[in-house]
Amino acid sequence: MTLFKKGGQPRAASTFIGHPGLWRTSLATLFVSSVLLGSAAAQDAYPSKAITIVSPFSAGGGTDFLARLLASELGKATGRTVLVENRPGANGMIGSDYVAKARPDGYTLVLGTVGTHGINQAVYDNVPYDTVKDFSPISLIARTPMLVLANPSVKANNVGELIELAKHQSAPMIFSSAGVGSVGHVAGELFAQEAGIELLHAPYKGAAPAAIDLVGGQVPLMFGTPVSTATYVSAGKVKILGVTSAHRSRLVPDVPTLNEQGFKDFDVSTWYGLLAPAGTPPPIVQLLAQKTRTFLADPLIQQQLLQQGLETVGNSPEEFSELIRAEVNKWAKVSIPK
C-alpha cells in the first residue's frame, strides 16, 4: 500500500504509521474539512427549520405588532415557520441579551430598537451585552420621529420662540416623556443641551399618561411620537413645534424639522431593526436582509406600517451597522440624568 511520494519514491504505510505526528495532522485536516463542509451545507440549506424572532418587550405593544408582521412576511419569503417570542424586561435588555448569547445560526433573531441598541448603554449601568460587538445587524425595518409638543397655553409657536421663552423663565420648563430612558426622554435632554437651555424631565409610565397631563396643562412640553399624540393634535389640544428627524416626516409633512429651525444635524427617531447574534454566517445575514428588503418594498406593507405611525426603511447590514455605531456614539456624549 502506498500513501505519499517523496523524491519520486513511494512511502509505505508502515513508514506513515510509524510517525504519529503525520496521523494527527491528517486527522485534524479531515476534521476541519468536514466541519467547513457541514457548515457550508447548513448555510446552503438555510432555513431548514423554524426561525424565532424575539420581541424584547411585552405582547400587545408597537414592537410586538412589528415583530408579528415581520414573522408573517419572513415566513412567506422563506417558506418556513417564523415564531415570535416575547422576552420583556429591563427596557428590552433581557430579550436582547438572550439573543446575544444564542447560537449564531440564523434561527434566533431579535427585533431591536434605538433603546436596546442605542440608548441603553448611555442610560443604564451594567448593560449585559455590547451593542456593537455582540450582534450581526440585518436590516433597519422602520422608524418614527419624535415631536416637540406644547400645551396651547405655551406662548411659543416654533422652536425658536420656545428656546427664548425657556431662557427667560425663572425656573426650568418641564417636559414629559414615556419614562426614564425612553426616546422622548433622551430627545428632550439632547434638545436642551443643543439649545443651551435647562429643562426638567417628568417621567411617566408610558406615553398615554404623559400626553394626558400635557393636554391637561400639568406639564407644558412633551417629546412624543406622532401616533401617541395624533388625537390630541387633530383636536387642537396640543400643538407641534417641530419634528426631531433629519428630514420631514411623511406622518407630519407640514411640520418643519429642528434643523430647519436653526439646529445642526439634529436627528432623533424611534427605530426598529432586525439583528442576529454576532458570528452568524454572512450568507445567512445577507439572505435575511434581502428577503426583508423585498417585502418592505411592497406598497401594501408600507401603508400598513404607516397606519401604525411607522415609516418603512429596509437597508443593508452594513448601513444598519453604521447607524448603530452612530447612535451609540451620539448618546454617549449626551448628559442624561438617571
* pLDDT for the residue 40: 52
pLDDT at residue 4 greater than cutoff 50: no
* pLDDT for the residue 24: 53
Among residues of the chain, what percentage have pLDDT more than 70?
Answer: 87
CATH fold of 147-261: D-Maltodextrin-Binding Protein; domain 2 (3.40.190)
pLDDT at residue 25 greater than cutoff 90: no
Look up residue 183 and give its amino acid: V
For domain 51-144+270-332, which architecture applies? 3-Layer(aba) Sandwich (3.40)
* pLDDT for the residue 1: 42
Find out whether 238 and 247 touch, Cβ atoms under 8 Å.
Answer: no
* pLDDT for the residue 61: 81
Give the mean pLDDT of 27-37.
48
Least confident of 23-37, 112-126, 163-177, 253-267: 23-37
Residues 6+ positions from 206 with CB-CB distance below 8 Å: 178, 179
Cell of 39: 457548515
Band (pLDDT 50/70/90 cuts) for residue 71 is very high
> What one-character-per-residue DSSP string does 17-74 give?
HT-HHHHHHHHHHHHHHHHHHHHHHHHHH--SS-EEEEESS-TTSHHHHHHHHHHHHH
Give the mean pLDDT of 263-269.
96
HSE, side-chain direction, 13 A CA sphere, residue 69: 25
Look up residue 26 and give its amino acid: S
Cell of 65: 405588532
* pLDDT for the residue 60: 83
**Where does residue 118 rank: exposed (0-12), middle (13-18), buried (19+ CB within 10 A)?**
buried
Instruction: Tell me which DSSP letter residue 251 carries.
Output: S
Give the mean pLDDT of 41-57.
87
Band (pLDDT 50/70/90 cuts) for residue 44 is low
Band (pLDDT 50/70/90 cuts) for residue 236 is very high
51-144+270-332 against 147-261: fold identical: yes
pLDDT at residue 32 greater than cutoff 90: no
- Where is pLDDT greater, at 44 or 120? 120
The model's pTM: 0.84
Band (pLDDT 50/70/90 cuts) for residue 271 is very high
Give the mean pLDDT of 124-145.
96
Residues 6+ positions from 306 with CB-CB distance below 8 Å: 250, 251, 312
Band (pLDDT 50/70/90 cuts) for residue 338 is low
Tens-digit pLDDT profile for residues 205-235: 999 999 999 999 999 999 999 999 999 999 9
* pLDDT for the residue 20: 53
Tens-digit pLDDT profile for residues 155-194: 999 999 999 999 999 999 999 999 999 999 999 999 999 9
pLDDT at residue 43 greater than cutoff 70: no
Please state, rounded to an integer, the average pLDDT across all residues of the chain.
89
Domain regions of the chain by residue span = 2-45, 51-144+270-332, 147-261
